[in-house]
Amino acid sequence: MKAAWYRRNGSARDVLEVGELPTPQPGPGEVRVRLHTSGVNPSDVKSRLKRPLIAERIVPHSDGAGIIDAVGDGVPASRVGERVWLWNAQWQRPMGTACECVALPAQQAVALPDEVDFDAAACFGIPALTAIQAVHLAGPLQGKTVLVTGAGNAVGHFVTQLAVLQGATVIGTAGAPARQQHARDAGALHVIDYQREPVAARVAELTQGRGADVVIDMDFSSTAALLPQKILRPHGRLACYGSNQPGEVVVDFRTLLFDSLQLVFFVVYELLPHDRASAIQALTALLRAGQLRHTVGQTFALDDIAAAHEAVEAGRVVGNVVIRI
């Protein structure tokens, strides 16, 4: 089968290769998926750059979509021919979705509603499930004001839609004008240009000094510094799924204590089974009801995987980057 891989960490042009690998066979409890699309996420780029390799060769990307064409022992033969989207394909495994076929545990291939195309389905495993879990952890949002950092990014775009569906008023942050418009298109009532406007002062202005009821955050390394500036009201909750600075982050304990703030963190790769099942069920319902808008910003051929990675690294694409296989 045709596939892309890397054997060492480094820049996309230096380390990504495209060639032929043996077509995998599904083991017990597994399915094999003939892939139509592979999603490229920021975490895939970071893994290629610096995550230690767990095997001699890494076929990247955790997200993708296609059709089951073979099943292993213990999996109903009726699943052959099923349209599916995938999660965690390359998490703690060397074989991801940047290839023609992937074999993986059957539960990681989720039935895809007929009305959803494969391009959109390559955006579900990380962006959509992250958004759903973040909104779940944020608590009931009806009537609340929610600050969504990175509302013009892939996860933030989904978060904004989900919060609005629950009846929340969303204040988003975004940088480039195209991302600001993307946040508005998702339903953000106000969008703060974090590159040119003081975020805390604008939140205070927009909430009459109360602060947001909830913050759903993509970059705790930046947002932590805003907590003493009262972007989050007393007894408010911050749900965070990422940080541009992955190491130590300074947090003002006095603010947390005297404002009785709640902070909750998670990574989508490590959701507990019941949380993942709930998120998948919620996503399926939203897809069948046509309640989520998906934005595929740019597509690439597998031969152009290096350019796809560079597009994600540069942050110039509004929406998801997808490889068509």
Domain co-membership, 112 together with 221:
no
Q: For residues 182 and 245, which has the higher predicted lDDT (pLDDT)?
A: 182
Domain that holds residue 214: 127-269
Domain count, the chain: 2
pLDDT at position 93 is: 96
Domain co-membership, 148 together with 255:
yes
Distance separating alpha carbons of residues 106 and 213, to the nearest angstrom: 39
Q: Can you give the CATH number for the domain in which 60 is found?
A: 3.90.180.10
Domain co-membership, 138 together with 202:
yes
Pairing of strands 190-193, 169-174: parallel
> What is the pTM assigned to this prediction?
0.97
**192 is a domain residue:** yes
Distance separating alpha carbons of residues 201 and 197, to the nearest angstrom: 8
Span 92-109, mean pLDDT? 98
Residue 247 has pLDDT above 90, yes or no: no
pLDDT at position 195 is: 95
**286 is a domain residue:** no
**278 is a domain residue:** no
Confidence category of residue 279, pLDDT binned at 50, 70, 90: very high
pLDDT in tens, 138-196: 999 999 999 999 999 999 999 999 999 999 999 999 999 999 999 999 999 999 999 99
Q: Which of 230, 252, 269 is the last residue of a domain?
A: 269
Residue 92 has pLDDT above 90, yes or no: yes
pLDDT mean across residues, the chain: 97
Residue 246 has pLDDT above 90, yes or no: no
**45 is a domain residue:** yes
Tell which residue, 48, 41, 43, has the closest CA to residue 4.
48
**What is the chain's length?**
325
pLDDT at position 242 is: 95
**277 is a domain residue:** no
> Which tokens go with 33?
């998926």
Span 193-204, mean pLDDT? 98
Pairing of strands 83-86, 109-111: antiparallel
**51 is a domain residue:** yes
Residue 245 has pLDDT above 90, yes or no: no
**280 is a domain residue:** no
**7 is a domain residue:** yes
